[in-house]
Structure 1
Amino acid sequence: MSISAGAAVIPLERTDAWSAVLSHARATGSDSLNALFAADETRAQSLCATACGLTLDFSKQRIDARTLELLLAVAEARDLKTWRTRLMAGEAINHTEGRAVMHVALRAPRGLPMFADGKRIDGDVHDVLDRMAAFSERVRDWSWRGARGDTITDVVNIGIGGSDLGPRMVCEALTAIAGKGPRAHFVANVDGAQLAAVLESVDPARTLFVVTSKTFTTQETMANANAARRWLVDALGAPAVAKHFVAVSTNLDAVTAFGIEPTNAFGFWDWVGGRYSVWSAVGLSAMLRVGPAMFRELLAGAHAMDRHFVEAPFAQNLPVLLGLLAVWNQSALGCSTQVIAPYAQRLVFFADWLQQLEMESNGKYVMRDGTPVTRSTPALWGDVGTNSQHAFFQMLHQGPEVHPVDFILPVKADHALPEQQRLLIANALAQAAALMRGKTADEVRAELVAKGMKGEALEQAIPHRVFPGNRPSNLILLPRLDAFHLGALMAMYEQRTFVLSVLWGINAYDQWGVELGKQLATRLLQPDAKHDPGLDGSTRSHLGLLG
């Protein structure tokens, strides 16, 4: 079969390799994880892989050695190696937009040749990184002064989607170890309450705004940027805009019209999708907060994972294994969602970032050739532990549907509360074990009898305390949550998303579904919207809310 991006795609479910997987799943569907562990005392070691300091323990997945062998055969049958080569070579695998997909170039070390559509791009990447670093140092060492000569104490990032979620997550994850630097704030929602709250907390004379929009026309971003500009001008006058606003954009005309000096505009490229862009100038607010050195460590960790993805055998390749396990859980075992549970408060925005990465990439109606997908890609959601244990883990343990969990656990803490870190680690390990082990009716009975319960009360209580168990999870260990290992973790999930797109035959790098609602919102704001024949009666009846 041709590997051309737009060539006919055979749905995964109709391939011989996947048929073998399904046959195996039917034959082993009643196997329990408890029994698999009892039968193989080396299971915890054999179903484990490491790279870039990260460890993936997938021994609590409902697989055996034969399952893994069959899943690896699926990766070969779907030509994953060739697609990986095309990705890394900068071919236009985003065929609906005719673009290469080269976020990997953003974290490649200086001097390593990288190409997009046949053009070498690594020099351009490092030119922008160098400009970002020079600017960040000026702000951080107080050389950059505001309109009244004040130093900058606060940076406000105005963007949405990938222009918000990536830098927001990185700042939250690394601020505790970043040392000095301006405080970082983030405004994404067009709901003015978010911007108003930030503006109330900062001093206009000491605040720098980073407006991130490639075209400088993004509706929500520009609404917030214009409101922030009015606030600043009211306080400091129009000339102050040049000292308190910078842009991440390629539309220099619009940037200049806004009042920003073109030299303070940092560009990025069409071969960078928004949800993959934190490594570029989109990460400027993160660099301002953590400093250029730590930002480069983030890039180094991501590049290390990219090299692992390219070089490691599939059987030990973290992104490949994660992708194959996700497809197994969804398409063979029928699990409709994937849960992310980072046991680190500093990763509080990680699931948000990952939701966009995965669901905006692979949440598609059609495959690469335009034919309908045969199965919905799974939803991804989650929250930090231990908060999540007191929110949705009840459903994970006893709900009728199975939702696989990725437990993400940095082992060493960067705070002086070791007993709480031990408690955190114990909770992560215990939850994974409890999801797998469950609790039988006989175990519940013995437990309650030991507490003195008997008779009808005992019999009525038992069903409510039974846990089905046999619920799969991955445990992903980081030695500590620093910039390098955060970069590696993020790149691992980026490449997992790519692996899933190849297995499912999806173009992960366009996002046409994002546009429809935006287009309709623009129509609703037109003066004659009430006469728009394309609007339904319900929507038309509420137009008065617009004033």
Structure 2
Amino acid sequence: MKTLDKTDAWVSLQAHFNETHATHMRDLFVTDPGRSKRFSLDVAGIFCDYSKNRINDTTRELLVQLARERGVEARRDAMFSGAPINRTEGRSVLHTALRSKEALSVMGVDVAAAVVREKNRMAAFSEAVRNGVPGVAGKGMIRDVINIGIGGSDLGPKMVTQALPVTGPRLHFLSNPDSNAVHRILEKLCAEETLVIVSSKTFTTQESLTNFHTVKQWLSEFLGSERDAMAQCVAVTANPAAAAALGFAEERTFVFWNWVGGRYSLWSAIGLPIMLAIGADQFELLLDGARAMDQHFRHAALEENMPVLLALLGIWYRNFHHAPSHMIAPYDARLGEVVPYVQQLDMESNGKRVDIRGNELGYGTGPLIWGGLGINGQHAYFQLLHQGTHWIPVDFIGVMHSPGSITEHQWVVHANMLAQAEALMLGRSTAQTYRELRTAGLSLERSEYLARHRTFPGNIPSTTLLLDTLTPRTLGALIALYEHKVFVQGVIWDINSFDQCGVELGKQLSTDIFAELAGAAPVVHDASTTALIARIKRFDNPEPTHS
């Protein structure tokens, strides 16, 4: 197999870039008024307008050719079939099976049946808790749930439960082992009315276990015994033996499997806090929306395939325009946790420097993902987008209909989102700015001076995703859209999007440093780290002062 930069499509794309990179998008819209219709899709309650991108029909054709040359369709089918495409860990990648209704067996294991069985356990438990059935979790009504987890065990459930109406107990997410974070949650809760979920794939995650032991101690103090405390704790893990060793009863342990990656796991038992918050029926609708995007991704032609096209636009900007980052700007306050979620999904998946055979890559891979609520960003970092020296593509995400919202407020939000996309694309030339200043009555000298400061180069690409309304279905589809986008880019870059070896070294070193801070004999570090450890230890154990 040719390396990526030696493929026919890549060579053609490079030549095409050299021919077209100076073209301004405002000119493309003038010469091609039908491009917005031609470069848009409507799938699973999401309308995607990608016409404000620096592409034409030839660009799209060559990018699709690249996807075919890199075997995107075959790798997609292999993933859905349960082939072990995660080569470094020797595992299948089957988060899509968590929302599928199709029969699936892998290596003699009935995957579909296992998924249904565990989902039914989750539903029975969550509905009992929501309905206040005594003895399910403690002795009385559960009004608050603490979800202890980090990474994929935290970001997915937090995002979904912020986006959708919570009709069950209040949720509190505890990922940071900083004691300040723990105390801020515990000080406002009643132990008798609190359920604790500990979510960890391996059940060895230092941060989560540290938080669990502190919360368990708090429960024990108020409930009178560790036994009563554990009656209000449940485990979610792919390692039930480790949970049992820490005292979690089998009936209070919900499992998922090694073929579910942490950042793809909200559809599994990791979604237990989601189910507690919105109910089993609404959770099923979340799965339905993701499944609708799965079906589109599996069966739509690449030229009309939303995840594929978003992935290819990212390749175009990362590898030909050399954009190092990509911004996401939701224009709905309920989607405030989308950016941290996609950050992990994209950067942990595709932040790789070697191909699947271990060879160092000669081209860029995953970009830096950043952003936040767009309406706030306009008054912060959008300045850099419009007039800075960084060239950054943007995803705008809006919700067209929000039941119960104030119409004028929504007009303000929508007007700002559309205006930012238009301004980034059109820009404003120095000559146009000069004319406007002169028309406003400014002097010739002042107009010439200010025009240079008020020029907007424009030609900054963006894609606008409009959800019909924000429901479990459309949210599920949106999440699956980004999952599949990341997958396609990983295939094209020839990397493994489903491991995360880069997080391991820091974990290993932190274990040694923790032991040193706790009083163990020091090990060899660099001079800076050694000095910093000594400084922290002095503040943790100050020398006595003498009067």
The answer as to whether partners of 1:43 and 1:59 remain within 8 angstroms in 2 is yes
Deviations 1:338-365 (A, max 9, x none): 1000111001010000000000000012
Residue in structure 2 matched with residue 28 of structure 1 by the alignment? 20
Q: CA deviation at 1:257?
A: 4.2
The answer as to whether partners of 1:298 and 1:486 remain within 8 angstroms in 2 is yes
Question: Does 2:507 correspond to 1:507?
Answer: no
Q: CA deviation at 1:258?
A: 3.2
Residue in structure 1 matched with residue 339 of structure 2 by the alignment? 351
Alignment equivalent of 1:37, drawn from 14, 18, 29? 29
The answer as to whether partners of 1:319 and 1:496 remain within 8 angstroms in 2 is yes
Q: How does 1:254-273 map to 2 (within 5 A)?
A: 254-273=242-261
Alignment equivalent of 2:303, drawn from 315, 322, 342? 315
Q: 1:147 to 1:249 in 2, by over 3 A?
A: closer
Residue in structure 2 matched with residue 83 of structure 1 by the alignment? 75
Does 181-190 or 115-124 show the bigger shift? 115-124
Q: 1:352 to 1:117 in 2, by over 3 A?
A: farther
What is the identity, as a one-letter code, of the residue corresponding to 1:431?
Q
- Percent identity for Structure 1 against Structure 2: 43
Residue in structure 1 matched with residue 104 of structure 2 by the alignment? 114
Residue in structure 1 matched with residue 114 of structure 2 by the alignment? 124
Deviations 1:468-517 (A, max 9, x none): 00110001111011100000000010000000001101100010111110
Residue in structure 2 matched with residue 292 of structure 1 by the alignment? 280
The answer as to whether partners of 2:349 and 2:496 remain within 8 angstroms in 1 is yes
Q: How does 1:384-463 map to 2 (within 5 A)?
A: 384-463=373-452
Q: CA deviation at 1:191?
A: 1.1
What is the identity, as a one-letter code, of the residue corresponding to 1:140?
R
Question: Does 2:123 correspond to 1:133?
Answer: yes
Question: Does 2:526 correspond to 1:539?
Answer: no
Residue in structure 1 matched with residue 544 of structure 2 by the alignment? none
Q: CA deviation at 1:239?
A: 2.1
Q: CA deviation at 1:144?
A: 4.0
Deviations 1:375-409 (A, max 9, x none): 23211111012011111111011112210000011
Alignment equivalent of 1:218, drawn from 205, 226, 241? 205
CA distance in 2, matches of 1:20, 1:106: 39
Q: CA deviation at 1:332?
A: 1.1
Q: CA deviation at 1:146?
A: 7.7
CA distance in 2, matches of 1:272, 1:257: 23
Q: 1:170 to 1:267 in 2, by over 3 A?
A: same
Does 241-250 or 326-335 show the bigger shift? 241-250
Alignment equivalent of 1:190, drawn from 167, 177, 180? 177
Question: Does 2:101 correspond to 1:101?
Answer: no
The answer as to whether partners of 1:530 and 1:540 remain within 8 angstroms in 2 is no
- The secondary structure found in structure 2 opposite 1:488 is helix
Deviations 1:42-69 (A, max 9, x none): 1110011121121111100000011111
The answer as to whether partners of 1:103 and 1:272 remain within 8 angstroms in 2 is yes
What is the identity, as a one-letter code, of the residue corresponding to 1:258?
L
Question: Does 2:467 correspond to 1:475?
Answer: no
The answer as to whether partners of 2:125 and 2:136 remain within 8 angstroms in 1 is no
What is the identity, as a one-letter code, of the residue corresponding to 2:332?
A
Q: CA deviation at 1:147?
A: 7.7
What is the identity, as a one-letter code, of the residue corresponding to 1:299?
L
Question: Does 2:152 correspond to 1:152?
Answer: no
The answer as to whether partners of 1:441 and 1:466 remain within 8 angstroms in 2 is yes
Does 160-169 or 207-216 show the bigger shift? 207-216
- The secondary structure found in structure 1 opposite 2:345 is helix
Residue in structure 2 matched with residue 5 of structure 1 by the alignment? none
CA distance in 1, matches of 2:138, 2:309: 55
Scaled by the length of structure 1, the TM-score of the pair is: 0.95
Residue in structure 2 matched with residue 200 of structure 1 by the alignment? 187
Question: Does 2:266 correspond to 1:278?
Answer: yes
Residue in structure 2 matched with residue 4 of structure 1 by the alignment? none
- The runs of 5 or more residues in structure 1 that have no matched partner are 2-9
CA distance in 2, matches of 1:383, 1:337: 14
CA distance in 2, matches of 1:142, 1:485: 30
- The secondary structure found in structure 2 opposite 1:189 is coil
The answer as to whether partners of 1:90 and 1:118 remain within 8 angstroms in 2 is no
Does 462-471 or 114-123 show the bigger shift? 114-123
What is the identity, as a one-letter code, of the residue corresponding to 1:198?
I
CA distance in 2, matches of 1:531, 1:252: 34
What is the identity, as a one-letter code, of the residue corresponding to 2:186?
L
Q: 1:76 to 1:147 in 2, by over 3 A?
A: closer
CA distance in 1, matches of 2:308, 2:179: 42
The answer as to whether partners of 1:209 and 1:245 remain within 8 angstroms in 2 is yes
Does 372-381 or 24-33 show the bigger shift? 372-381
What is the identity, as a one-letter code, of the residue corresponding to 1:278?
L
TM-align CA RMSD: 1.5
CA distance in 1, matches of 2:428, 2:117: 58
The answer as to whether partners of 2:76 and 2:298 remain within 8 angstroms in 1 is yes
The answer as to whether partners of 1:146 and 1:205 remain within 8 angstroms in 2 is no
The answer as to whether partners of 2:201 and 2:262 remain within 8 angstroms in 1 is no
